[in-house]
Chain A
Amino acid sequence: MDLSYGPEYETFRAELREFLQTRGDEAPGRAGEVASLGGESLVRWQKLLIEHGYAARNIPKEYGGAGAEPDPLIATILSEEFGRARVSRGVAGQGIDMLVPTLLEHGSEEQKRSYVPPTVTGEMVWCQGYSEPGAGSDLAAIQTHGRVEGDTLVINGQKIWTSTAQFSQMMFALVRTEPEAAKHAGISYVLVPMDTPGLDVRPLKTMTGHAEFNEVFFDEVRVPVANIVGRRGQGWKIANTTLGHERNMLGSSATSEGLYEGVVRVMREEQVDGHSALESPVLRDRLMSLQAKTIAMKCHAMRLLGSRLRGESSGVAGLVTKLNGCQLNHDLAGLAIDAMGEGGVLYRGTDRSRENGRWQFQYMFQLGLIIGGGTAQIQKNIISERGLGMPREPKVAASAAKSGVKG
């Protein structure tokens, strides 16, 4: 056990702190809020971060990144210091976090040159077109299909739960292109411009009152065959690389730490019968239970980092973050609401609502994350099957040996 990072890393940290102190004011919004996607202030901030090597750090220079070697310790310092300073980390989301790594691994040179640089700066916003009405956990059951006519792929069908589609210029989609092939072998990974004629985005209002996601309809949508990433019919394998990236994004301990600090603030300030909510033994007991879990998840992230640095597999320990982290975040928001008593029901649009309804929003939003990106039950399948070597679900075993579930 050695938790020191070493002098060269401490120098990096000191420089980053200095930067955040002197330039942090230029960041759009504050950490935790979503700065408007594709917005000018976000793009400007992102470019400044890339220039300093604080964003798109490991993306090669020729594709618009900072071109540094991947280093998990640097990544951890970045996450710690931006979190501490509560400053926006720049562009985040499915484009830079999921599509870019996929294109760098599987894309053609032309695809990389056209799409990676504008995605990295935040000028090009992407959405993920995987789920369909009939294909959620069983993602390989997708029906949206593409027929090849010369150089053109003609797409018909429907996607659903597509986050940020209404703000996106592009979608990376899974489309069935080989109707004769087996379930997992007939899918292609396709890049679709959202302004293509025949493509219709209908926002879906979620329980939070916002349209966090959409339905997307395809009616004879024509895109060049060259927009397929990798070879035709290889899309399932390629999609699984992005799903791996998504699983690492959800349930991060930095989110839990931020929420925990927020709950302490709420409980300190909320008055119940002339005493702060912190003085309620029952609420305080819940707070401490959640603090232990929050610290445990932080230690767990350090442990996984340790395995990565040693080049070891983290085994079953590496499979439990999403399940625990998303549930913890939901519980933290739930405690903040309870600490507010009846005031906990207030939502946006009244001064009486604390932080403009942040906690009710988080409570609902975090529930969405328990479901999205591979449900809690799918996570438990993965943990028991891949982690404990228990038998696979019958369906999956019969149709395809490889991971046949979204997660």
Chain B
Amino acid sequence: MDFGLSEEQLLLAETVTRFLDERLPVPRVREVIDGDESIDPDAWRALAELGVTGCLVPETHGGAELSLLDAAVIATALGHGAAPLPFLGSATLATLVLRGAASPAVQSEWLPRLADGSARMALAAAERIEQRQDSGVTFEGGRLQGTALFVIDGAGADAYLVAVGDDVHLVPASADGLAIKALPTIDRTRGLVELGFEAVAPADSFLAVGAALDRAVDAGRVIVSADILGSCDRAISMSVAYAMDREQFGRPIATFQAVKHLCAEMVAAIEPARSLLWYAGHSWDEIPEESALLATLCKAHFSTVGHDLVRIATQVHGGIGFTDEYDLQLWFKRVGLSRQLLGGPEKLNAHAAELQGLA
């Protein structure tokens, strides 16, 4: 019996964190999000050497074939660094859909390139989770038609995996009739795009792969939760450090009990959530019969906890926390985006009830 992260996982967290501190410190993050590209492509390729880009790619295709809990450890570090990198969209969602749904030939064509960071992919599946107005894609007579919204890390992807019902269609970014439109979001460290399909012929189609889609989405929910966790860790450490430093009424605000209690509430909320996340990651790897429920409840819980937490952290900072110049807003917004991605808490709670036959 050993519940917790292994030595290797702690080392992995440290390695990625150190990499980000050196290669993608906050000033660099700001440069990237103020520039034309939505991610830092050099950092992404450099992370390939650490096994990050291909962490969920099988070894036979040049990946590191790590567990989802390992990937969650990486995602926590990326959240902590507010890294503008397509870990969720390309390295998790698209990679796992390819692994679970694509033909061997397509896997051989794409997975090695995802692993070495030379290509990126994104999954268009928002409609599978929640059908919103003005969206939806159909597949008739060999052609895709319609609109796919909120494609995570879709900007600059080389190809898209488009879910239509239980089928998945592979569409290169250069396909005729495909329009890619960036959607400005609050969180500029990760991009969403909208895909327009005008009689687009997919390069390949994989039919009746609903189970693989669901499993990839479950994994995605764990990874977003991990990203929220990392963001929260950052918000807490910034808050405590700021409270110790900032003086009012002739003493550090950390001596005011109201401030101490806000900080205590943040940790008290995040520590059991961290335990839940580890278990949700572990169950995706090892206890498949439980993993859909755990991923769903985990993401619902993190959406709520994270949302409250970054609000509290901002309040601990006072006016400075509300400015663009001070970095905390990066995590406030990153958590704001994460909360809505792959289902908000109400949607996920309803889904969790269904999964257990409670609905």
Does chain A bind chain B? yes
**Which A residues have a C-beta under 8 Å from some C-beta of B?**
1-6, 9, 73, 264, 278-279, 281, 284-285, 287-289, 291-293, 295-297, 299-300, 302-303, 305-307, 309-310, 316-317, 320, 323-324, 377, 379-381, 383-385, 387-391, 393-394
Q: Which residue of B lies closest to A289 (CB)?
A: B349
Inter-chain contact A3/B1, CB cutoff 8 Å:
yes
A2 to B255 CA separation, bound complex (whole angstroms): 41
Residues of B contacting A299 with CB < 8 Å? 3, 272, 275-276, 278-279
A172 to B359 CA separation, bound complex (whole angstroms): 51
A5 to B1 CA separation, bound complex (whole angstroms): 5
Inter-chain contact A288/B349, CB cutoff 8 Å:
yes
Partner of A377, one of B3, B261, B269, B358: B261
Residues 108-125 of B contacting A (Cβ, < 8 Å): none
Partner of B358, one of A278, A297, A320, A387: A278
Q: Is the interface of B mostly helix, strand, loop or mixed?
A: helix
A1 to B300 CA separation, bound complex (whole angstroms): 23
Closest CB-CB distance, A51 to chain B, in whole Å? Answer: 27
Q: Which of A284, A316, A390 has the most B CB atoms < 10 Å from its CB?
A: A390
B267 close to A (CB within 8 Å): yes
Partner of A1, one of B2, B269, B297: B2
Residues 219-250 of B contacting A (Cβ, < 8 Å): 240, 243-244
Q: Which residue of B lies closest to A306 (CB)?
A: B3
**Which B residues have a C-beta under 8 Å from some C-beta of A?**
1-6, 69, 240, 243-244, 252, 254-255, 257, 260-261, 263-265, 267-269, 271-276, 278-279, 282, 286, 294, 297-298, 300-301, 304, 345-346, 348-350, 352-353, 358-359
Inter-chain contact B2/A2, CB cutoff 8 Å:
yes
Residues of B contacting A306 with CB < 8 Å? 1-4
Residues of A contacting B274 with CB < 8 Å? 303, 317
8 more A-B contacts (CB under 8 A) besides A3-B286, A295-B297?
A288-B300, A292-B352, A297-B272, A303-B275, A303-B278, A316-B267, A317-B271, A391-B260
A388 to B1 CA separation, bound complex (whole angstroms): 29
Q: Which of B3, B240, B345, B348 has the most A CB atoms < 10 Å from its CB?
A: B3
A320 and B260 in contact, given A284-B349, A306-B2, A306-B4 (Cβ under 8 angstroms): no
3 closest A-B pairs by CB: A288-B349, A306-B3, A380-B264
Partner of B267, one of A1, A305, A383: A383
Inter-chain contact B353/A296, CB cutoff 8 Å:
no
Inter-chain contact A324/B268, CB cutoff 8 Å:
yes
Partner of B350, one of A9, A284, A317, A324: A284
Residues of A contacting B345 with CB < 8 Å? 289
Q: Which of A264, A285, A297, A305 has the most B CB atoms < 10 Å from its CB?
A: A285
Inter-chain contact A320/B1, CB cutoff 8 Å:
no
A388 and B264 in contact, given A284-B358, A292-B300, A305-B3 (Cβ under 8 angstroms): yes
Q: Which residue of B lies closest to A267 (CB)?
A: B358
A88 to B352 CA separation, bound complex (whole angstroms): 32
Closest CB-CB distance, A303 to chain B, in whole Å? Answer: 4
Closest CB-CB distance, B276 to chain A, in whole Å? Answer: 4
Residues of A contacting B273 with CB < 8 Å? 296
Q: Which residue of B lies closest to A303 (CB)?
A: B275
Inter-chain contact A300/B300, CB cutoff 8 Å:
no
A1 and B264 in contact, given A296-B272, A302-B3, A306-B3 (Cβ under 8 angstroms): no
A183 to B279 CA separation, bound complex (whole angstroms): 46
Closest CB-CB distance, B267 to chain A, in whole Å? Answer: 6
Inter-chain contact B276/A295, CB cutoff 8 Å:
yes
Partner of B1, one of A6, A292, A323: A6
Inter-chain contact A1/B257, CB cutoff 8 Å:
no
Residues of B contacting A303 with CB < 8 Å? 3-4, 274-275, 278
A87 to B114 CA separation, bound complex (whole angstroms): 54
Residues of A contacting B260 with CB < 8 Å? 380-381, 384-385, 390-391
Residues of B contacting A307 with CB < 8 Å? 4
Q: Which residue of A lies closest to B285 (CB)?
A: A1
A317 to B236 CA separation, bound complex (whole angstroms): 14
Partner of A293, one of B3, B272, B278, B279: B272
Partner of A289, one of B263, B268, B304, B358: B304
Closest CB-CB distance, A344 to chain B, in whole Å? Answer: 20
Residues of A contacting B272 with CB < 8 Å? 293, 296-297, 299-300, 320, 324
Inter-chain contact B352/A291, CB cutoff 8 Å:
yes
Inter-chain contact B243/A390, CB cutoff 8 Å:
yes
Closest CB-CB distance, B346 to chain A, in whole Å? Answer: 6
Closest CB-CB distance, B167 to chain A, in whole Å? Answer: 30
A73 to B3 CA separation, bound complex (whole angstroms): 12
Inter-chain contact A323/B304, CB cutoff 8 Å:
no
A287 and B263 in contact, given A1-B282, A320-B272 (Cβ under 8 angstroms): no
Residues of B contacting A302 with CB < 8 Å? 3, 275, 279
Residues of A contacting B254 with CB < 8 Å? 390-391
Residues of B contacting A279 with CB < 8 Å? 359
Residues of B contacting A389 with CB < 8 Å? 240
A253 to B129 CA separation, bound complex (whole angstroms): 32
Closest CB-CB distance, B325 to chain A, in whole Å? Answer: 26
17 contacts between A and B (CB under 8 A): A2-B2, A3-B1, A73-B1, A264-B358, A278-B358, A279-B359, A284-B353, A291-B352, A293-B272, A297-B272, A300-B272, A306-B4, A317-B271, A387-B264, A390-B254, A390-B260, A391-B252
A390 and B261 in contact, given A293-B301, A299-B272, A306-B1 (Cβ under 8 angstroms): no
Residues of B contacting A2 with CB < 8 Å? 1-2
A20 to B286 CA separation, bound complex (whole angstroms): 30
A289 to B307 CA separation, bound complex (whole angstroms): 14
Partner of A393, one of B257, B275, B358: B257
Inter-chain contact B271/A320, CB cutoff 8 Å:
yes
Residues of B contacting A384 with CB < 8 Å? 260-261, 263-264
Inter-chain contact B294/A295, CB cutoff 8 Å:
yes
Q: Which of A9, A264, A300, A377 has the most B CB atoms < 10 Å from its CB?
A: A300
Inter-chain contact B69/A1, CB cutoff 8 Å:
yes
A127 to B278 CA separation, bound complex (whole angstroms): 40
Closest CB-CB distance, A250 to chain B, in whole Å? Answer: 14
